[in-house]
């Protein structure tokens, strides 16, 4: 039972209000002294410089299944798998054993300049089999940003191999997108806040078209076909504005994660965009770092509509957080161009394709396949959707509930009719996340902003592990509903 279910509405309202107003800090946004914050189970770092220099964070001592255990004795339900990463939950013995066995070989790292390792090749074979042979090769990296960075270079090299003076220099990507934080990946991203400080350094040969956001853009009563036709026309126009012969490729997420809060593309959209790309000889590129590797109910999100990309990135769910690893899946067409050209990918880093990373990812992928976890993602995902819509669909500040598989977003609005977002200063998404993780509720919610127009707008992401049960879905939706009701009752 949700802890808050034990409280009356009045008590809950007063407690949340006290937390939010009086600095009884919910997750360490605090001016508390270091001593006070650490005795409360929060630590504000003195040595680590991470995303926030002022914030104290709760300390995790361990985890098992869907739960994280904090130093203050609390047990937190990990409703978000971290940042949609821990797809098998925490403390999976099979994965830990596979990593340990690999470490015991004495070579967790091997320089890919010199050596090959069987586990690395086995992982790549597993991944290619997972595409039914529709993709040809795998390039391994350490993070989603590196995978996107590599994709940008490989896409350019695809044309460069055939013509050293190729005019193909432009990418088209989308507004309200996030593809990573390295300069190339950020240059592609249409994330206003994350781009802002670095704009002078970002590639000016990336051009953006609008996202595919049915909630905010579709006319009342407009069909999928009509909406998709408008998007294809917009891309077509962008190609012509740039000169179609100058475009390397179009890049998008099949389901937009962090930037929009799980906005799925409208049926037919991916196919229509690929058609525009291919008609102009450009590449169709999918970023599935967040939405892929099972998160949407098929191993790859594109498999839902069988729209095979020319290049695709994968990340988070690949090794489920047991090792840092991401990858680029490369189509037959692109591999052929490299094979028939220089025979090399002009790129590389020290830590790529490490055997220990591969051992973790291979075991995670085998578990998913052997235990048919995709079925659980689809079944529990459908139930999660139904529960969220039943418990929160009528809430006056829940504007939209959207997603796919076990990847769901709630978008919050001040006015449900006009879809007007809240003032950014109110920090709605962060408040929801802080309240969720507080001792009143003990769950995680992944907050995001910029949902409405790139700057304003609030959402939270719900992305539980693929091992979540029906009873757990009941539990988390009940608690999430309590969190939402509590926070908005104080506003």
Ligand X SMILES: Cc1ncc(COP(=O)(O)O)c(C=O)c1O
Helix ranges (DSSP H) in 283-354: 316-319, 332-340
Question: In terms of C-beta distances under 8 Å and separation of at least 24 residues, what long-range contacts does 328-333 make, across chains too?
Answer: 328/138, 328/139, 328/141, 328/147, 328/150, 328/151, 328/154, 329/127, 329/128, 329/131, 329/135, 329/137, 329/138, 330/135, 330/136, 330/137, 330/138, 330/139, 330/154, 331/134, 331/135, 331/136, 332/135, 332/136
Segment interacting with ligand X, rule: CB under 6 A, options 18-26, 89-97, 140-148, 353-361:
140-148
**180 is a contact residue toward ligand X (CB under 6 A):** yes
**In terms of Cα–Cα distance, which of 326, 328, 286 is closest to 309?**
286
The residue (of 83 and 214) whose beta carbon lies closer to ligand X is 83
Give the Cα separation of 434 and 19 in Å (integer).
Answer: 9
Give the Cα separation of 316 and 81 in Å (integer).
Answer: 10
- Per CB under 6 A, the list member of 179, 231, 238, 280 interacting with ligand X is 179
The residue (of 20 and 286) whose beta carbon lies closer to ligand X is 286
**260 is a contact residue toward ligand X (CB under 6 A):** no
Least separation in angstroms between CB 143 and ligand X? 4
**292 is a contact residue toward ligand X (CB under 6 A):** no
Token pair, residue 400, equals 């939209």
Q: Which residue's beta carbon is nearest to the bound ligand X?
A: 144
Least separation in angstroms between CB 349 and ligand X? 13
- Per CB under 6 A, the list member of 57, 160, 178, 466 interacting with ligand X is 178
Least separation in angstroms between CB 120 and ligand X? 19
Give the Cα separation of 201 and 211 in Å (integer).
Answer: 23
**249 is a contact residue toward ligand X (CB under 6 A):** no
Q: Taking CB under 6 A as the criterion, which residues in 41-100 touch ligand X?
A: 83
Residues with Cβ within 8 Å of 237's Cβ and at least 6 positions away in sequence, in order, are none
Bridge partners (DSSP) listed for residue 312? 286, 329
Bridge partners (DSSP) listed for residue 443? 77
Residues with Cβ within 8 Å of 165's Cβ and at least 6 positions away in sequence, in order, are none
Sign for the CA dihedral angle at 112, 115, 119, 121 comes to positive
Least separation in angstroms between CB 194 and ligand X? 10
The residue (of 161 and 287) whose beta carbon lies closer to ligand X is 287
Which helix (H) or strand (E) segment is 279 a member of? helix 269-279
**290 is a contact residue toward ligand X (CB under 6 A):** yes
Segment interacting with ligand X, rule: CB under 6 A, options 141-149, 263-271, 408-416, 467-475:
141-149
Q: Tell me how many residues contact ligand X (CB under 6 A).
A: 16
**228 is a contact residue toward ligand X (CB under 6 A):** no
Sign for the CA dihedral angle at 222, 228, 229, 234 comes to positive
- Per CB under 6 A, the list member of 143, 365, 430, 444 interacting with ligand X is 143
The residue (of 123 and 289) whose beta carbon lies closer to ligand X is 289
Segment interacting with ligand X, rule: CB under 6 A, options 242-250, 252-260, 295-303, 437-445:
252-260
The residue (of 298 and 435) whose beta carbon lies closer to ligand X is 298
Bridge partners (DSSP) listed for residue 77? 67, 443
Rg (CA), the chain: 23
The residue (of 244 and 309) whose beta carbon lies closer to ligand X is 309
- Per CB under 6 A, the list member of 58, 187, 304, 315 interacting with ligand X is 315
Residues with Cβ within 8 Å of 195's Cβ and at least 6 positions away in sequence, in order, are 186, 189, 202
**294 is a contact residue toward ligand X (CB under 6 A):** no
Least separation in angstroms between CB 293 and ligand X? 12
Residue found under tokens 């270079």: 153
CB–CB of 278/315 below 8 Å? Answer: no
The residue (of 127 and 289) whose beta carbon lies closer to ligand X is 289
The residue (of 328 and 467) whose beta carbon lies closer to ligand X is 328
Mask 348-387, x = binds ligand X (CB under 6 A)?
Answer: ----------------------------------------
Segment interacting with ligand X, rule: CB under 6 A, options 150-158, 174-182, 202-210, 341-349:
174-182
Residue found under tokens 């990135």: 313
The residue (of 317 and 457) whose beta carbon lies closer to ligand X is 317
**257 is a contact residue toward ligand X (CB under 6 A):** yes
User: What residue ranges bind ligand X (CB under 6 A)?
Assistant: 83, 143-145, 148, 178-180, 253, 257-258, 287, 289-290, 315, 326
């Amino acid at each position: 039972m949700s802890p808050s279910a034990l409280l009356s509405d009045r008590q809950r309202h007063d407690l949340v209000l006290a937390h939010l107003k009086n600095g009884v800090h919910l997750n360490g946004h605090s001016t508390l002294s270091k001593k006070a914050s650490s005795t409360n189970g929060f630590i504000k770092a003195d040595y680590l410089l991470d995303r926030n220099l002022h914030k104290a964070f709760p300390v995790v001592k361990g985890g098992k299944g869907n739960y994280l255990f904090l130093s203050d004795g609390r047990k937190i339900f990990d409703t978000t798998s971290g940042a949609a990463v821990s797809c098998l939950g925490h403390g999976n013995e099979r994965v830990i054993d596979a990593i340990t066995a690999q470490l015991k070989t004495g070579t967790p790292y091997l320089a890919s300049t010199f050596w090959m390792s069987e586990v690395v090749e086995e992982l790549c074979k597993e991944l290619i089999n997972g595409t039914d042979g529709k993709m040809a090769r795998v390039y391994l990296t350490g993070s989603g940003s590196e995978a996107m960075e590599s994709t940008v270079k490989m896409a350019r090299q695809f044309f460069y191999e055939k013509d050293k003076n190729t005019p193909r220099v432009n990418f088209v990507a989308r507004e309200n997108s996030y593809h990573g934080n390295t300069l190339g990946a950020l240059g592609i991203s249409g994330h206003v806040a994350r781009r802002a400080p670095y704009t002078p350094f970002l590639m000016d040969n990336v051009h953006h078209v609008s996202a595919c956001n049915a909630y905010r853009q579709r006319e009342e009563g407009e069909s999928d076909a009509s909406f998709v036709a408008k998007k294809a026309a917009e891309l077509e126009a962008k190609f012509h504005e740039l000169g179609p012969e100058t475009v390397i490729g179009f890049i998008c997420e099949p389901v937009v994660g962090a930037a929009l809060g799980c906005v799925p593309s409208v049926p037919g959209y991916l196919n229509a965009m690929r058609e525009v790309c291919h008609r102009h000889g450009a590449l169709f590129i999918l970023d599935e770092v967040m939405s892929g590797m099972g998160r949407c109910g098929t191993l790859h999100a594109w498999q839902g509509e069988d729209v095979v990309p020319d290049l695709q990135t994968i990340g988070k769910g690949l090794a489920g957080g047991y090792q840092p690893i991401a990858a680029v899946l490369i189509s037959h067409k692109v591999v052929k161009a490299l094979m028939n050209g220089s025979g090399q990918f002009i790129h590389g880093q020290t830590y790529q394709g490490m055997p220990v990373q591969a051992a973790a990812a291979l075991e995670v992928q085998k578990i998913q396949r052997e235990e048919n976890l995709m079925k659980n993602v689809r079944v529990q995902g459908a139930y999660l959707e139904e529960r969220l819509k039943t418990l929160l669909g009528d809430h006056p500040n829940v504007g939209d509930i959207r997603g796919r598989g076990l990847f769901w977003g709630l978008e919050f609005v001040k006015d449900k009719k006009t879809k007007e977002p809240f003032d950014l200063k109110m920090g709605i998404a962060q408040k929801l996340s802080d309240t969720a993780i507080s001792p009143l509720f003990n769950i995680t919610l992944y907050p995001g902003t910029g949902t409405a127009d790139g700057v304003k707008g609030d959402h939270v992401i719900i992305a539980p592990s693929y091992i979540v049960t029906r009873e757990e879905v009941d539990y988390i939706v009940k608690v999430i509903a309590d969190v939402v009701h509590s926070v908005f009752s104080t506003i």
